[in-house]
Amino acid sequence: MPQHRQQPKVDIGSIAIDTDITLRRMVIHPEESKGTVLLLHGFPETLHAWKDIALALADDYEVHAFDWPGFGLSSRPPADRFSYAPRDYARVVKDYVDRAGIDRSTLTIYATDISALPVLLLALEEPGIARSLIVGDFAPFDRPAYMWENLQALKSKPASDQVRAFMNANREKILANTFWRGLPKQAHYELSREFRDDMALGWSHGEMTSVDAFYHYYSHFTRDQDYFEANLARLATSVTVVWGSEDLYIKKEMGIELADRIRADLRLLPGIGHYPHLQAQKQTIEEIRASFR
pLDDT exceeds cutoff 90 at 102: yes
* Calpha distance 248→110 (Å, rounded): 21
Give tens-digit pLDDT for 54-67. Answer: 999 999 999 999 99
- Helix (H) and strand (E) counts in the chain: 12, 10
* Calpha distance 80→291 (Å, rounded): 38
Structural domains in the chain, CATH included, are 10-290 (3.40.50.1820)
Supply the pLDDT for residue 4.
58
* Calpha distance 287→136 (Å, rounded): 12
Supply the pLDDT for residue 51.
97
- Residue 208, classed as helix, strand or coil, is strand
Supply the pLDDT for residue 1.
43
Give tens-digit pLDDT for 157-171. Answer: 999 999 999 999 999
Strands (E), the chain: 10-16, 22-28, 36-40, 62-66, 107-112, 132-136, 204-205, 208-209, 239-244, 265-269
Q: What's 179-231 look like in SS3?
A: CCCCCCHHHCCCCCHHHHHHHHHCCEECCEEHHHHHHHHHHCHHHHHHHHHHC
Residues 6+ apart with CB under 8 A from 4: none
Handedness of CA 187, 190, 195, 200 (dihedral sign): positive
One-letter amino acid of 23: L
| pTM more than 0.85 | yes
Residues facing residue 268 across a β-bridge: 243
Give tens-digit pLDDT for 197-252. Answer: 999 999 998 889 999 999 999 999 999 999 999 999 999 999 999 999 999 999 99
